[in-house]
Amino acid sequence: MRVKEASALISGGASGLGEATTRRLHEAGASVVISDLNAEKGEALASELGERATFVEANVMEPDQVQAAVDAAAGAEGGLRISVCCAGIGWAERTSSKRGPHNLEYFSNVVKVNLIGTFNVLRLAATAMSQNAPDDQGERGVCVNTASIAAYDGQIGQTAYAASKAGIVGLTLPAARDLAGRGIRVNTIAPGLFDTPLLAALPEENRQALGAGIPFPSRLGDPAEFAQLALAIVENQMLNGETIRLDGAIRMPPK
């Protein structure tokens, strides 16, 4: 997929992995639509990037809001040809503990945001991409989703998060097969421990310890490295139906 002059939708694009991806795609020449719940950060990022950058406030669980973001990207120069979904939340709680069973509402909410929200973005973005004229290789678009190594190595207390991310891994291949006839690719990145705002709240000692547990490189991942992989996926047409671990060879222990 040619990035320059294409339009890209980045869900959860105002901070962390999403912000890094927004910056990288914009730098590569794409028009970017930043979709996020945080209007302050989203508007600030769009203003900083300037030309070819727009913010649309949207909750990935709300079809009408996501459709508005998709429409904004589809209406930009080049049409919507790239969708990267980075929106997600986490929750830590054991299946059963001294306090009783896992809160079902919290489990459901994590699955709704991470899995159903991702699919909501995917289905609406892919439908818009289907209207594009194919490029000289027959391609109309590419969708990149965000899972986690928790999909494979979920730790104690991560049943909700791991299940939601495993669902994203599981839908990747069938979605790619669904959309193959329309010239739309679907891939997923499963990042490990990255230096995102969530980890930034930890004491530096804890952050260093987390990084030291990664075989190589023994440090937290840089969001720019996630963005670099997202761009590579977009540009490499043979990458389709694949989930790629980006984790420095770590395999998470039980806790």
pLDDT at residue 5, as a whole number: 84
User: pLDDT-based confidence at 31, cuts 50/70/90?
Assistant: very high
Mean pLDDT, the chain, whole residue set = 95
pLDDT in the model for residue 75: 95
Phi, psi of 116 (to 5 degrees): -70, -35
- Looking at residue 199, what is its pLDDT? 78
pTM of the model: 0.96
pLDDT of residue 255: 86
Give the CB-side neighbour count of residue 194, counting CA atoms within 13 A.
25
Indicate if the pLDDT at residue 234 is higher than 90: yes
Burial 101-131 (b: 16+ CB within 10 A, else e): ebeeeebebbbebbbebbbbbbbbbbbbbee
- Three-class SS state of 32: strand
Over 90: is that where the pLDDT of 100 sits? yes
198 pLDDT exceeds 80? no
Dist. CA 4–CA 224, nearest whole Å: 19
The answer on pLDDT for 228 being more than 90 is yes
| Cα 32 to Cα 231: distance, rounded to the nearest angstrom | 13
Q: Percent of the chain, pLDDT > 90?
A: 91
Residue 209 confidence (pLDDT)? 86
Residue 200 has pLDDT above 80, yes or no: no
Distances (CA, A) of 136 to 87, 133, 200, 237: 32, 10, 44, 12
Closest alpha carbon to 210 in 247, 179, 239, 246: 247
User: Which homologous superfamily is 7-245 in?
Assistant: NAD(P)-binding Rossmann-like Domain (3.40.50.720)
pLDDT tier for residue 204 given thresholds of 50, 70 and 90: confident
pLDDT bucket at 111, cuts 50 / 70 / 90: very high
User: How many Å apart are CA 43 and CA 50, to the nearest integer?
Assistant: 10
CA 138 – CA 140 distance, rounded (Å): 7
Domain residue extents for the chain? 7-245
Supply the pLDDT for residue 159.
96
The yes-or-no verdict on residue 115 having pLDDT over 80 is yes
| Whole-number Å distance between alpha carbons of 234 and 141 | 9
Q: What pLDDT, on the 0 to 100 scale, is given for residue 203?
A: 81
Question: Alpha helix locations (H) across 80-196?
Answer: 104-111, 117-129, 150-153, 159-179
pLDDT at 34: 98
pLDDT band at 172 (very low <50, low <70, confident <90, very high): very high
Q: What does the pLDDT average to over 238-251?
A: 97
Q: Of these residues, 55, 107, 161, 194, which one is catalytic?
A: 161
> From CA 84, how far away is CA 230, in angstroms rounded?
8
Region 67-79: mean pLDDT is 95
Q: What is the mean pLDDT of residues 215-239?
A: 97
**Active site (annotated) includes residue 106:** no
Is 71 or 200 the better-scoring residue by pLDDT? 71
What is the maximum span of the chain, computed from C-alpha positions, in angstroms?
A: 61
